[in-house]
Structure 1
């Protein structure tokens, strides 16, 4: 096992690439990329970095030259033979050859397209523009680079023993969480922590700790590179990006109202079983489910990613019952802002009513709260989102208005089209 503190001390953070593989990304990104490659390959999309935690001055903490070095290194990466073999031949979600030959041939030749980086005060403006299948693969590595460079900046002036103690305390914290989770009978939990991790090595350590500490209750990781290396299940389905771009392409209000279901219709043709998971909150969970076609109720489950998680789960349970489905045969995956207390509470409330799963992200792979002076390693909310498609702005409403994004006039239009009324604003931690 890598001695992370010693690695931090010895390297003193020269180039030391943060992202060393194109599959150091989330599994759902590759599934979505294949879908986009098949259905919308010529769509032009712009992704942009958005720091919701403006109190974290990324441009003052992170040297622009170092950031460019890391991003340039990512542009030099291509799939290795072993990575290609794993993607082509491994079984994912019980399916052999999840990735089609034409997609794999394209992916094996891919180099990520150029980026645009500018400094604006204490923040960076980082954007990626181009064909949707190419630029979408920048999202996860870009976030990983910014998060880890911030960690490196804070750790740079710490001494050898200080680093050893810091990581010992952080490891103890993770293990205490695992010990608490061990007490939950029937727990099903996966690592979803790639995008806002402390570092790659730390995510890998956390995954190994979960493997040892939770056994079969730990179902896998969203990180493809770690899944391959540690011989784990790669976990993930789809994300808000798909309906956001499909909606932006809609020619009128009627097409806009259909867009979220058009996404899932395309997905339905490609996937089955546990990959048929609905993410209903992009434009409001209740309205989305109320208007959903009956065939969608036959899908395996839903993922809850914003708003009050218990309320969203109740809405889904009521929807299944109203459509003649048995909630006990359905899965609810909670994935927003999770930590041990919330995991325990949600499992206690819904176990027995539905099949409960958890995708545990930032507070698994980046919980260094209160471990350094000034809480300078506390996790913060950094995202990289599609902001336009074919020149039209994208919009996300969410079940939490504090997570909404897009031009205000378009947000109001989307609220009208999707019948979104009052929403309770909740704090956004990550």
Structure 2
């Protein structure tokens, strides 16, 4: 088995699951695998993925995992823990097909249940790919120690975000161990709940793009950001206060991020586009709303490496609290080419709706819009965003 622990998953999947079951317990969704890197998978790959999926139905929340989550994840109530204790993965929710080297994966079912599939499925696909293509990891320890020491040297606070595209569980396990030993207080935590428990770290994460995508599809794109923030606050009452900005572009997000939200949320997460432009926009926005930026945080998290972190940290220069969420660069920098893939929400069916509604994700980066091209065009027109050149590389299924 590749996934051996129920909590070998990212925290944001559990926080999103909790919010969904409180706000939209009857919503149904469809997720799909997007192979951005056009990777060709070896013969028999889909069958091996199916075996891993079948094995996951044996997983359950252990007493040790529950005790850890109760101690660290104080924002979850007892009702949610009862839900987790009774939860079992249902392989019937996942369809895996292979045509030649092309892999197709679809997850379909109740949203509060199916949201937990995304991260472990990606971890399975990544680890299985390197295993079946016989690509070996190299220099894990020396490479990670060197990175840890340089991050400390530049005083960069780190959150490890590498579960989804890791080379393997064992590599991520070793990386987190090394980072904790060599980074001290600069190692702020990991998104992986099991590894946070194993190494007594803080599990890190808040909400994903799918939270905003559902609101946009159901309530309309103009209301999506504000309603997403309002519903998140209603569930968590100020905890988990890092707001993701780029589901419908950050410029559109800031239109909804008024004084109330600017003061209530602890900060923002940058996840696409130009980090320097984003930083200036965030600083200006806080100042315009009479909020001292030095009391707020930006979590930078898009495909970062050490060089990029150095540049961003120098640019920020203490004007706002900066934290760096780093994933693939830590857990799959082992001498192989990491997979460029995502699993995204593509359709949703809110309670009372007869049909599924398409969902879309825009981006601050060129060529990274995701969803049905016609729905993306509608979203852009509704929000009065020029389509530009980014429509040339829309990811659709």
Tell me: CA distance 1:346–1:423, structure 2 relative to 1, closer, same or farther (3 Å).
farther
Q: 1:231 aligns with which of 200, 216, 224?
A: 200
* Cα separation, 2, equivalents of 1:348 and 1:139: 34
CA distance in 1, matches of 2:26, 2:271: 29
Aligned to 2:4: 20
What TM-score, normalized to structure 2?
A: 0.92
Q: Is the 8 A contact 2:35 2:342 kept in 1?
A: yes
Provide TM-score, normalisation by structure 1.
0.85
Which runs of structure 2 are paired with 1:24-423 in the superposition (5 Å)?
24-54=8-38, 56-58=39-41, 60=42, 63-87=45-69, 89-92=70-73, 96=74, 98-113=75-90, 114=92, 115-155=94-134, 166-167=137-138, 169-185=139-155, 187-250=156-219, 255-272=220-237, 275-298=240-263, 299-368=265-334, 371=335, 377-390=336-349, 391-421=356-386
Offset of 1:272 from its aligned partner? 5.0
CA contact (8 A) 1:284 1:418 kept: no
What's the offset of the Cα at 1:427? 11
Quick one: distance in 1 between partners of 2:231 and 2:172? 33
Give, in whole Å, the separation in 2 of the partners of 1:70 and 1:212: 32
Deviations 1:145-201 (A, max 9, x none): 000001112337xxxxxx6xx53x23322222222212113x211100011101111
Q: Do 2:72 and 2:203's aligned partners in 1 also have CA atoms closer than 8 Å?
A: no
Q: Which runs of 4+ in 1 moved over 4 A?
A: 422-428
Per the alignment, in what secondary structure is the counterpart of residue 130 of structure 1? strand
SS in 1 for 2:371: coil
| Residue in structure 2 matched with residue 10 of structure 1 by the alignment | none
Structure 1 pair 423–228 and aligned structure 2 pair: CA distance change class (3 A): farther
Cα distance in 1 for residues equivalent to 2:331 and 2:208: 20
Alpha-carbon displacement from aligned partner over 1:71-110 (angstroms, at most 9, x marks no partner): 11112212122212222x3133xxx3x2212221121111
Unaligned runs of 5+ in 2: 350-355
The count of corresponding residues between Structure 1 and Structure 2 is: 384
Contact 2:380 2:387 in 1 (8 A): no
CA contact (8 A) 1:387 1:395 kept: yes
C-alpha distance in 1, partners of 2:27/2:57?
21
In structure 1, distance between residues paired with 2:29 and 2:151: 41
CA deviation digits over 1:268-325, x for unaligned, max 9? 1233556211111100101220243331111211000001111112111111111111
Q: Counterpart of 1:388 in 2: which secondary structure?
A: strand
CA RMSD of aligned residues (A): 2.0
CA offset at residue 228 of structure 1?
0.7
- Closer/same/farther in 2, CA of residues 423 and 336 from structure 1, 3 Å limit: farther
8 Å CA contact 2:22, 2:235 repeated in 1: no
**Structure 1 segments unaligned to the other structure (5+ residues):** 1-16, 157-162, 372-376
Q: CA deviation at 1:61?
A: 5.8
